[in-house]
Amino acid sequence: MKAVVVRKPNEIVIEEREIPEISASQVLVKVKAAGICGSDVGIYRGLNAFATYPRVVGHEFVGEIVEIGTRVEGYAIGAHVAVDPVISCGKCYACRSNRHNVCHSLKVMGVHQDGGYQEYVAVDEQQLHLLPQELPWNIAATVEPYSIGAQVAHRGRLSADDTVLICGAGPIGLIILQVAKMKGAKAAIMDIVDSRLEKAKAMGADLVINSRKADVQAELMNFTQGEGASLIYEATGNVKLLKQCIKDFSSAAGRVVVLGFSKDVLDICQLDIMSKELEIIGTRLNNHRFPEVIEWFKAGKVDPAAIITHRFKMEDAEKGFAIGKEHPEDTLKVILTF
C-alpha cells in the first residue's frame, strides 16, 4: 500500500509499505479521504513542536472497515467510520477528570504516531465513530475539524447570549463562526484576507473586519455598544493579537479562548485580567465530540461543503501541502482522496 510520509521537515514522499496487522481490539480502515490541517503543514515545514519524524501525517481521516479484530463488537465490514485521532492513557489526572484530550501521555495519530495519509490504517475500537453511509467522503473528512468547533464551544460556554469575536477566518475560524451562528450568538470575525471575510459574510457573520484596513477595536466597540466581546476565539496564533484580545477586545466577565500554539512569549497586565474577571481558556483537540458533530451533519446544522476548496489525490499530497502557501486567498480546507 501507499503512504504519505514526511521523512523530515520539507521532505514529503510516497512510500510503499506493508498493510498493517490489526490486534484483537482493532479494525483495519481503508482510508477514503483525509483533510490537510494547518498543523499538518506545520509538521511538513518543521514548525510543529509536538511532531517527531519520519511521520505518516493526517489526523482528519475517514474510511471503510475492511477487517475486524476478534474482540471488536458492533461494527460490520463495509461500515463507514470517522476516526478520532486522540489516544489517551485513561489513568492520569486529566483522563480521570474526563479531559482525555490533554492526557499526560497523549498520543495523536498523525503527530506522535502514524496517521491517516495511508491506504490502510489499524485503528482501536474506541476511536471509531459510525458515519451515515450516504455522507460523501470529502464532507465526512471534516468531522474532525468540526470536532474542534464543538470543543471550543464547550470550553468557552458559547451560548445565544454571547457576542463572539473570532480572530482568523481560516477553516477553523469559519467552523467556529458556523457553530456560533448555529447556537444563536452574534458573531464578528476578523482576518487580513478579504476573500475569506466574504465567505464569512455568506456564512452569516454579523460583522467582518479586515484588520489590515480597519480599526478593529473601534469596529468592535461600535458592534458591542462599547462593551467588548463576551467570548473571543484567538485562532491565528499571533500573541500580539492575543494580548489585544485580553486588553482591548474583551468585555467584563468575558472569556478568551486560546487555540494557537505559538511559543512566543506574551507580556500581559494582571489588572486587565483581574479587573474584568476575565477567563483565559486553553483548548486542545477534542474531548469525545465526534458523536455531537455527526449529529450536526445528519441534521444539516452546519455547512462543511462551504469550507472545502480543493481536492487532490493522495499521490499529489505535496501539491496539497503547497497550495495554501501559493494561494492563501482562495485556499481553505484541502482534502486528499484515496
Beta carbon of residue 144, minimum distance to Mn ion (angstroms, whole number): 6
Shorter beta-carbon distance to Mn ion: residue 187 or 259 = 259
Shorter beta-carbon distance to Mn ion: residue 37 or 109 = 37
Shorter beta-carbon distance to Mn ion: residue 37 or 220 = 37
Q: What own/partner pairs with CB < 8 Å and gap ≥ 24 does 90-99 have?
A: 98/287, 99/287
Beta carbon of residue 319, minimum distance to Mn ion (angstroms, whole number): 19
What is residue 295's three-state secondary structure?
helix
Helix (H) or strand (E) holding 13: strand 11-16
How many whole angstroms separate alpha carbon 294 and alpha carbon 40? 23
Beta carbon of residue 83, minimum distance to Mn ion (angstroms, whole number): 12
Written as nine digits, the cell of 264 is: 512566543
Beta carbon of residue 11, minimum distance to Mn ion (angstroms, whole number): 21
Written as nine digits, the cell of 323 is: 497550495
How many whole angstroms separate alpha carbon 235 and alpha carbon 259? 5
Shorter beta-carbon distance to Mn ion: residue 142 or 250 = 142
Chain residue whose CB lies nearest Mn ion: 37
- Amino acid at the residue 27: V
What is residue 145's three-state secondary structure?
helix
Beta carbon of residue 331, minimum distance to Mn ion (angstroms, whole number): 15
Closest by CA position to 68, among listed 123, 13, 114, 118: 123
Shorter beta-carbon distance to Mn ion: residue 208 or 335 = 335
Q: ∠ CA(209), CA(215), CA(217), 5° rounding?
A: 90
Confirm or reject binding of residue 197 to Mn ion (CB under 5 A). no
Number of amino acids touching Mn ion (CB under 5 A): 1
Site for Mn ion in 226-255 (CB under 5 A): none
Shorter beta-carbon distance to Mn ion: residue 37 or 216 = 37
Beta carbon of residue 189, minimum distance to Mn ion (angstroms, whole number): 19
CB-based contact 14:20 (threshold 8 Å) = no
Shorter beta-carbon distance to Mn ion: residue 40 or 191 = 40
Pairing label, strands 229-234, 163-167: parallel
Beta carbon of residue 85, minimum distance to Mn ion (angstroms, whole number): 8
How many whole angstroms separate alpha carbon 100 and alpha carbon 93? 9
User: What is the per-residue binding string for Mn ion in 22-41, x denoting contact by CB under 5 A?
Assistant: ---------------x----
- Distance (Å) of CA 118 to CA 1, 18, 29, 127, 292: 7, 11, 10, 17, 27
Beta carbon of residue 115, minimum distance to Mn ion (angstroms, whole number): 11
Residues at the site binding Mn ion, with contacts judged by CB under 5 A: 37
